Amino acid sequence: MTVVAIHQPNYLPWIGFFHKLARADVYVSLDSVQFNPRSYTNRCQILGQGGPLLLTVPIGKEGRHRRIDELRIADHDRWAEKHYLSFERNYRRAPYWNEHGPFLRELYLERRWERLVDLNEAAIRYVMDYLGIRCPLVRASVLGVEGQSTELLLGLTRAVGGTVYLSGPTGRQYMDESRFAAEGVGLRYNEFVHPTYPQHRSPEFVPNLSVFDLLLNLGPESRRLILDLGMRLTVVQT
């Protein structure tokens, strides 16, 4: 059995993204679909002084009509420096800043990014390595699979040798489950309940932040938290 997770390569994704990857054998980075400006492909939230703080990577106006793998980062407004300073200002006294701060400094200040997908993948791979998530990452754009919705997901799953597709819970709203059964591909829904954990400077827990909020607050304990959740909450559909 080979379980495949498929998801857009979001910018510094939230915990639920890695919770799903931890249950997969292969991760297909869905960079071959059109960019949705309302998505988190170029946005994330961290914990600011007054609550959630939105960080947005600037994309040119033409990006609204392009595929994710074609998106170019708009080189203006010193966005990379601002994002790094936002992390440093809000997390420099967090328990594990000294462990992850150097990576963030390299990501923002020591490298120059032209394509959004390359920036996002670098951060995703760093987190996967730190959490011990060993599934290979394959870009959908290199697989040559066409189609939409259920057809696309089935095609990508088969293209990487998958026998089971691992979906998020919202997949129930748009997928044709009967197609999976007809094609002999299993279907699972990864149910995620957001955990709570101690957050630096915050008296009340704030959910749905970038996974780096977890890493900077819990360090090595982040792996146990994500893997324990994954073992409990995967629901199989037949």
Strand partners, 138: 28
In this predicted structure, the answer to whether residue 75 has a pLDDT above a threshold of 80 is no
The domain limits of the chain are 3-237
Rg of the chain taking only CA atoms, in angstroms = 18
- Quick one: CA dihedral 150, 154, 160, 165, positive or negative? positive
CA distance linking residue 98 with residue 108, whole number of Å? 16
Reading across the β-sheet that carries 3-7, which strands appear in turn?
137-139, 26-29, 3-7, 164-167, 186-190, 234-237
Contact between residue 138 and residue 160 where contact means Cβ atoms under 8 Å apart: yes
The 10s digit of each residue's pLDDT in 170-210 is: 778 788 899 999 999 999 998 888 999 999 988 899 999 99
Split at pLDDT 50, 70, 90, the class of 8 is: very high
End-to-end CA distance of the chain: 14
Residue 63 — pLDDT band, cuts 50, 70, 90? low
CA-closest candidate to residue 18, choices 166, 185, 144: 166
Q: Name the average pLDDT for the chain.
A: 91
pLDDT at 18 over 70: yes
Predicted confidence at residue 236, as pLDDT, reads 46
pTM more than 0.85: yes
Where is average pLDDT lowest: 4-13, 101-110, 119-128, 170-179? 170-179
pLDDT tens, position by position, 125-145: 999 999 999 999 999 999 989
pLDDT in tens, 29-59: 999 999 998 899 999 999 999 899 999 999 9
DSSP strand pairing (234-237 vs 186-190): antiparallel
